[in-house]
C-alpha cells in the first residue's frame, strides 16, 4: 500500500514537471513530504540532463567553428566573431580595434619540396604561435590554406599596431625541424584599423590591400637581396 502510494506521488511530480495535469489523493502531511521529495528528485534529474545537453551542444558548436589542424577558429568562427565585433563597435560601445591578415610566404614551395605533411607541420606551428600571442578577447583564425587572420577588439590603434609589428618580427623568426632540415617560416601582414560606421567588407578589402602591398615589398626586397 505504501509503495503504491509513493509511486503515485512520484507520477504526480513527473506529470507536473512535464506540464501535465495530474490528480492524486493526499491523505496527510507525510504524503505532502513524499510528493515534494519526488518533485525535488525530478528537478535534480532534469537539471543534470540539461547540463549534459548544454555541454554536448557547446562541444558541437566548438567543432563547427574550430580548424582541426591548427586548433584556431575556422572561417565560420572568425566571421561570426567579426560580425559581433563590428556590431558592438557600431553601437558606440567603446573603441574599435585592429584586423590583421597573414599570408605565408613560399608555402607552396614548402609543400612541393618537403611534402604536404611538412606543410601541415608549418601550419600547426603558426597556429601554436598565434595562440600564444593573443589575449583572451582576441580571435586568431585560419581562413583556409596558408591564410590566417587576427582580430584585436577594443584596442587603441597605435598600441595595437605596435603590438602587431612586434609580433610580425617574432613571426618571421619561426622555423620547424623536418627530417633534420630546418624550414623557415615567413609571412606577409596586412593591417586595418576599424571604428564605428565601418562595414565588414570594407574592413576586409582594406586589410587585403595592405597585405598584398606588404607582400609585394617583401618580394622586391628578396629580389634585391638576391642580386
Q: Which residues are catalytic?
A: 146
Q: Please say whether the dihedral angle defined by the alpha carbons of residues 159, 161, 132 and 152, taken in this order, is positive or negative.
A: positive
Extended beta strands in the chain, E state: 97-104, 139-144, 147-152, 175-178, 181-184, 187-194
* Residues of the chain by 3-state class (helix, strand, coil), percent to 5: 60, 15, 25
d(CA 134, CA 223): 33
d(CA 152, CA 65): 18
Q: CA distances (Å), 223 to each of 36, 95, 215, 226, in order?
A: 81, 40, 12, 5
Amino acid at each position: 500500500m505504501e509503495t503504491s502510494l509513493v509511486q503515485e506521488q512520484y507520477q504526480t511530480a513527473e506529470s507536473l514537471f512535464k506540464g501535465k495535469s495530474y490528480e492524486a489523493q493526499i491523505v496527510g502531511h507525510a504524503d505532502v513530504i513524499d510528493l515534494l521529495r519526488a518533485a525535488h528528485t525530478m528537478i535534480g534529474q532534469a537539471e543534470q540532463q540539461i547540463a549534459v545537453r548544454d555541454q554536448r551542444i557547446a562541444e558541437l558548436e566548438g567543432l563547427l567553428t574550430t580548424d582541426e589542424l591548427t586548433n584556431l577558429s575556422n572561417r565560420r568562427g572568425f566571421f561570426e566573431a567579426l560580425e559581433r565585433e563590428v556590431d558592438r563597435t557600431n553601437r558606440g560601445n567603446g573603441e574599435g580595434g585592429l584586423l590583421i591578415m597573414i599570408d605565408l610566404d613560399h608555402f607552396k614551395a614548402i609543400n612541393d619540396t618537403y611534402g604536404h605533411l611538412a606543410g601541415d607541420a608549418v601550419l600547426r606551428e603558426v597556429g601554436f604561435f598565434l595562440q600564444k600571442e593573443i589575449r583572451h578577447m582576441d580571435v586568431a583564425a585560419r581562413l583556409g590554406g596558408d591564410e590566417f587572420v587576427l582580430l584585436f577588439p577594443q584596442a587603441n590603434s597605435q598600441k595595437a599596431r605596435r603590438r602587431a609589428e612586434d609580433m610580425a618580427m617574432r613571426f618571421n623568426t619561426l622555423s620547424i625541424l623536418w627530417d633534420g632540415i630546418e624550414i623557415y617560416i615567413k609571412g606577409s601582414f596586412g593591417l586595418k584599423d576599424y571604428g564605428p560606421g565601418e562595414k565588414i567588407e570594407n574592413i576586409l578589402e582594406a586589410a587585403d590591400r595592405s597585405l598584398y602591398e606588404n607582400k609585394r615589398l617583401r618580394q622586391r626586397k628578396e629580389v634585391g637581396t638576391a642580386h
